[in-house]
Structure 1
Amino acid sequence: MGAVMAPCVALGVTVDDSIHFMVWFRSGIWRGLGESRSVLLAWRACVRPIYQSWMLLGLGMATQFVNDFASIRQFGMMMTAMLTASLVGNLVLQPALLASPIGRILARGFLRRGERGRVTAADPESPL
């Protein structure tokens, strides 16, 4: 049971981190920074919250490795492993993909949608 619940919880955390990264990337594109500088903007804005969420959740779940109840032990082990993979994916693989030609395609799509003017009304530090 614990091993079945872990992917649901870890996927929610991963998707949340990925969406925040993409919002910051889009904000950089709308500001005219280009793909590589937008990736850097997103990485700088997201690295601390993503790492902190891993520290709180991943290390908290690692305390369950010594639990006698097998279901809770499995949940803790799976969550820690999946959150670690998520950390690598969100802070290494996602920026690499956005710095590749895939990021250029996404950037063109963001600019083509004509929503670029919305960013001027927001706080300069906000991605929205």
Structure 2
Amino acid sequence: MGDSELEAIRARRMAELQQQMGGQDVDQEKQRAEALQREQEMKNTMLAQLLDQSARARLNSIALVKPEKAKMVENMLINMARSGQVGGKINEEQLKGLLEQVSEKTGRSGKVKFDRRRLDSDDDDY
């Protein structure tokens, strides 16, 4: 066997090994993606059962602007439901209360404060 034949055999074997290893990684990645999708579907189903239409719309609007805050509220709602603290559908006003609780926990008031500085009269002379 010549060097070129050995190189061709080695290249084919390396390609086969990479294909086998890559196939396993792809399968694991598919399984992870499917598990995440199932988890998200279960979460959406629970939230649909917990929230009325206006509260769900508000939560979706918040998720567009502040996704981390919306996730915190979603997790809070799911935990409340699992522990039996929710006694029916949550309306928009109740959701606002939960949002205020989350804002207090995170330390952000959600209000913007403007600090306007006035110019001295000396600066007006150009």
Normalised TM-score (structure 2): 0.29
Give the number of the structure whose alpha-carbon radius of gyration is greater.
2
Normalised TM-score (structure 1): 0.29
Which is richer in helix?
1
